[in-house]
Each structure stands twice: as structure tokens, then as C-alpha cells.
Structure 1
Amino acid sequence: MPHCYTALEELIYTFGGPWLFGLLLSGLLILLALVLSVARMKFAGTDELPGPAPTQQGSQIDHSFPFLESLNEVLETNRAEESHGHVHRMYFMGPNTFSEPWHLPHTPAEQITEIVYEDAFNRFVDEINTLAAYQWWEGSIYSILCILAYPLAWSWQQWRRRKKLQRLREFVRSEYDHSCLRSCRSRALYEGLKVTATPDLMLGYLDFFLGGDEKRPDLPPRLRQRFPMSLIFGGDGSYMAPFSLHSDSVLTSLMSQV
């Protein structure tokens, strides 16, 4: 009797047999995972997108929609107030990987020595560095996925990075008592500290703001007093994470002071 093949077997032997068909199918799955991973990286950023750029002086606003004009004025006021109270931006060290997680230096920068208590700041840094570290199993899963399917490993790493950023934001925003700040108002309102990151989740930074009760005429420093200013590129220069210069609302508002 002739040996009859099913439709699936016919398809498999059409492409050269089980081994060749399996390799071809694996290649297609890896290619699909790579395309989806790159697409998600390009079109899905962090949960905090940079705000719109400040309106240039003399720009025209459509007065036929007064509610839009009012909203624009509110956003402009909020950005201006935030930038006027900005003192310093401290960048996290490390590329936020499982082997090199984010961490802050224990020595406060010269720009913030007048607005923080050094001992309390060191304790705050210890808590931040502990939260920013990854668990051993997270790195183990990443290593296994790197061998089996690298695009899935990249997606896993980005997901854990996003979770880590959300955890740090939640801690600074609502859990930490802001005891390292000298401002009584900042400690009472849980303000003065803000954790942010670039869309690729590799470069993170901590912004320091005045509380409003410091009574220091030299704070915050004007833009010209901040020069030379460091603008650090995000990414690592690879295909999946090319170098990029991120401009957020605080930086844009500061530059508009010229």
C-alpha cells in the first residue's frame, strides 16, 4: 500500500524534511520576535513622555478655542515654575543592566550641598541603590533567553527596566520622607526630588528642586551659572539602543531662559 502523508507532513517534506523545516521555522520565529521587539522599542517609550516645548515669544495661539489657550497657559506656568526651582540633575551611574544596575554616588554634588543633609542623603542613596539592584533570577532568565532567542531577552530586559523605573518613582514620590532635604516645605509635601529616565530606560537621573522656603538669593542658579553643563547621551551605541540625546520639559525650559 502506498504511504499517505497528511497535509502537515506534505508541507514539512516540501521544505526538505523535519530538520530543515524546524530550522526554517525557528528562523522565522526569531525574525518575527526581532521585528516586534524593535517596533515596540521605537513606538513605545516610558510612561512619562517629554512635555511640549515652550511656546516661543510672539507665537500665535488660536483664540477661537479659549479652552485650549487656557490649557496652554497652565502648562507654560507649570513648566516655568518647575524650571525656576530646579537646582541640579544627578545622573545615575550604570546602564541599568542586570550586571550593572543604576546606582548613585554617596558624595553629594557641590550644587546640592546647601540644600541637603549629608548623613540623611547617604541613607537615601543606600535605599535607592538597594531598590535599583536586580534579583539574581532576573539576570538568570536574561542569560537563558540570550542563548535561546536574543529578541526575547531584550524584551525581558526592557520590561524589567520599566518595572524598576516605576518602583523608584513610586518610592521617591510617595514612600520616602524626603528627610535628606533641608527645606521644611519639601519634607512636608514630599516634594523636591524627581526620578526620570530617557525613553530607552538606560540613562536615569534624579532632579533636585527648591522647596520655596530656603531664603537663598543665589538659589536656584541662573542658566549662565550652570555652564559648562553636561548633557549625557542615552543608549549604548548598539543597533538596539543607539546613542540619543533626550530633551525633557525641565531642560527645555532651562534653555529658554537665555
Structure 2
Amino acid sequence: MLAQQRQAAILDRITATGGVRVADLVAEFDVSDMTIRRDLEVLADRGVIHKVHGGATAVLPGAADEPGYAAKTELQTQEKIAITLRAAEFVRPGTAIALSAGTTTARLAHRLTDVPGLTVVTNSIPVADVFYRAGRSDQTVVLTGGVRTPSDALVGPVAVAAIRSLHVDVLFLGVHGMTEGAGFTTPNLMEAETDRALVGAAERLIVLADHTKWGTVGLSSIAELTDADVLVTDDALEGEARAALAESVGELVIAQMRVT
């Protein structure tokens, strides 16, 4: 296992359980104590965990906390793979789509570079870069202007004005959290306004949210659960959450994670 893969697995474990011990990780991954400590140091430097004596704990987010793009890229990688595989099935050649900012939508972008005739509207620098590097002459990418956030989103009045002049067939929206009361949320007030403009520009709203987003509430609401025509999540979502979402969204799609 490569160091990056091991670190991603360690981060997933910490996120799921709230904390880990170095000794347990040494036994699980069959590596030295020093190797695990280096892995934890790397994750701590990225700001995604707290190092403590003998182990590490999860970073507990508040409603206004906004992890950076690099930190979020390391989270729930298997869930994002499964979700974007299913989400890509909703994209048809020759259509106009929008992708909001986020690491899940950026992963989806990689799956769409071979779809002919797409017009892509996005406020995400990483998403735009994926299509730029693919270099297809039959794809058009519209990158909104705006002020850059920690999650590499372009937001603010310039972005909102650009988006409100456009119309797309479908929006793929990444979110920070989702609950029955608050709906789909983000910790960034300006990003919420920009996301609301994207929702307003789209004929159809498809939300991409892994199971850890359930029960998390960001500072500002983007849309109600009932506004989502489709919600794509992963099969680690628990039964009660599935039932609540199935009653609220137009269609609940459960992506099956691959067993490795």
C-alpha cells in the first residue's frame, strides 16, 4: 500500500470513529510505529486531524468551519468514487450542465471529459481545470468570475451575476451538510448565495452527498431537501436517514461502494 493510500485509510478511520491509537494502526497496517507517526504528522499538517499523545482525533467542525480543498480531497474517497459513477449516468451528450464547487463534483468532472458536446458552467477552479486539461474541442467550459474561497470556489456578486444570465439542463451540487430542518447547507455565506444562483439557473437539481453529510449543518442554507430532483449518496447511509431522504427528495439513488 502506498503512503497516500494508507493516509487516506487512516483519515477515513479517524473520521468514522473520532480517534485512533498509534498501536492499533501499526497492527492494522503492519508497518512500523515511526511510519504511522509520520502519516499522522502529514495529516495533521493538512489540518484534517489533531495529533494527541499516542494517537490522533478528528477535527470537530462548527457551522462556520470550512475545510480547505486539499483537506476535503482526502475524505471519503471510496464514497466519492461510487457516487460519481452513478451521477455520470445522468449526463447526456450535447447538454448544458453546471457543476458546483467541491471535491465530489471535481471527481465527477473527470468522468465527464469523454462526453461529447457538453457545455459546462462552473464556479470551481479545479473542475474547470479538469476540462481544460482534457482539451476536447467539442466541449465548452464557462468559468464564473468571483472571489476565491478555501474550497476553491469562485463566489460573490460577479459569480452570481454571471450565473443568473445562464440556463442549464442540470446542476450537480456538492454540499457541506444536509438535515431535515436546514436542508442542504454550506459554511460559507457567499458560496451559499452563489449556489442558490446555480440552483435557480438549472432545470434539474442533482445533489451529490456522501453519508457523512447527513446530520451536518453549515452556517447557510442552499436549498430545501424537497428541491432536489435526485440525491446520489452511498450505501453507508443508515436506514433512518434513507427513509427521511426518500420522503423528501424526488429520487434517492444509493451508490454501492466496491469491496476491496
The TM-score bracket by the shorter chain reads under 0.3
TM-score by length of 1: 0.26
Q: Over alpha carbons, which structure has the higher Rg? A: 1
The two structures have a TM-score, normalised by structure 2, of 0.26
User: Structure 1 or 2: larger helix share?
Assistant: 1
Higher relative contact order, chain-length normalized (CA < 8 Å, sep 6+): 1
Higher-strand-fraction structure: 2
